[in-house]
Amino acid sequence: MDIRIYVGNLNKSTTQDEINTLFAQAGTVSSVEVVKDKGSGLSKGFAFVSMPNQAEADKAITMFNAYAMGENELKVNVAKPRIEVVKA
């Protein structure tokens, strides 16, 4: 089961390929999902990276939390489970 990693404080112009290349330094990247605004299609400044095992995910978190990417200092940690909101 893949480990999902939250990557925050991204520059709005950061691409999926740039994140993939960065995290591949820590191990195998299963997928990268840059979260975009539905209306404008622009990045919201965060993404999720999936890695196949805990050791590689831990290494990526250690390597890239507080990592300077451009002018931004990344916030990297294990992604919290998504909570579904039920609208009444």
Q: Residue-wise pLDDT tens for the chain (88 aa)?
A: 899 999 999 999 999 999 999 999 999 999 999 999 999 888 999 999 999 999 999 999 999 999 999 899 999 999 988 777 777 6
Q: Is 48 helix (H, G, I), strand (E, B) or coil?
A: strand
Domain ranges of the chain: 3-78
Q: Determine the Cα–Cα distance for residues 18 and 85; give it in Å rounded to an integer.
A: 32
Residue 46's DSSP bridge partners are: 8
Output the CATH code of domain 3-78: 3.30.70.330
Q: Determine the Cα–Cα distance for residues 79 and 82; give it in Å rounded to an integer.
A: 9
Q: Determine the Cα–Cα distance for residues 60 and 76; give it in Å rounded to an integer.
A: 8
Q: Which residues contact 17 (CB under 8 A, 6 or more apart)?
A: none
